[in-house]
Amino acid sequence: MIDEIVITKAIMESYFKDFVDNLKVDVIIAGAGPAGLVASRFLAEAGLKTVVFERKLSFGGGMLGGGMMFNKIVVQSEAKRILDLYDIKTTEYESNYFVADAVESVSKLTARAVDAGAKIFNLISVEDVKINEKNHVTGVVINWTAVVMAKLHVDPMTFESKCVIDSTGHDIELVKTVLRKIPGAKLNTPTGEIIGELPMLAEIGEKILLETTKEIYPGLYVAGMAANACSGGQRMGPIFGGMLLSGEKVAELIIKKYKG
């Protein structure tokens, strides 16, 4: 016998327990793309309580679609060790270029993050940041993605953290929010502003991504394409090694700061 009310209670009570248990964490990540997923695993493994908010139903960002919806991805030799760490199968196409299945890659990146203890909530949009009296970022304001899409006036809720990672890709949504809403805010870029993403040049974009992955504003870090978009890095296309390495790099920076 199946009791629909028991099923409904099981879902709702379990979900809201997770929700309440994660109201105050060490790190909040906006965006469950490759950089955000990799960062969440390393952070959780280091003992930092980590929560990821993804506005879409699916995870993986652009990685899931591979190149132009051909669900294969390419990584360069420098980043292959990250895929190896996740037991993601690769095939060497030619020297320095390795091909992997996009669906397998996203699935394993997600599963290992969860296994490490990171909590991922999908269908939730980060619509604002929380700040302290020094204007440092100390959390986020979230709402259901369906509410945002419908443009309903529904008050959001707040989650608190020691720091936040903007892994929202090309849109750099949290960084733009900081500049728009905090008077006099200056970013950790040569101009103090968003420089913007430059045209496609994968060779440079992949290399510079580790330099642009950093604390961009007190309490707010950038990783993945959001990092290059902030600091004027080039677009890379369907090569994902830099995204994986950026996730590792931002986790290292936060672990060093908060775990010593």
First to last CA, the chain: 54
Report helix, strand or coil for 256.
Answer: helix
Q: Write out pLDDT tens, residues 28-70.
A: 999 999 999 999 999 999 999 999 999 999 999 999 999 899 9
Closest CA to 246 of 199, 207, 198: 207
Residue 159 contacts residue 27 (beta carbons within 8 Å): no
Reported residue count of the chain is 260
pTM (two decimals) = 0.97
| pLDDT tens track for 99-128 | 999 999 999 999 999 999 999 999 999 999
pLDDT at residue 260, rounded to an integer: 74
Please state, in angstroms and rounded to a whole number, the distance separating the CA atoms of residues 137 and 176: 13
Q: In what order do the strands lie in the sheet containing 124-131?
A: 124-131, 137-144, 157-160
124: left (phi over 0), alpha (psi -120 to 50) or beta: beta
Query: Which option is the CATH number for 11-61+102-259: 3.50.50.60, 3.40.718.10, 3.30.70.1140, 1.20.120.1200?
Result: 3.50.50.60
* Residue among 241, 244, 215, 248 nearest 33 (CA): 244
Instruction: Work out the burial of residue 179: count CB atoms within 10 Å of its CB; fewer than 13 is exposed, 13-18 middle, 19 or more buried.
Output: middle
| Domain boundaries along the sequence of the chain | 11-61+102-259
Residues contacting residue 206 through CB under 8 Å, at least 6 positions apart: 76, 236, 239, 241, 242
pLDDT at 123: 98
pLDDT given for residue 121 in this prediction = 98
Predicted pLDDT of residue 238: 87
Residue 247: which H helix or E strand, with range? helix 241-259
Which residues in the chain come in under a pLDDT of 50? Answer: none
CA distance linking residue 41 with residue 110, whole number of Å: 9
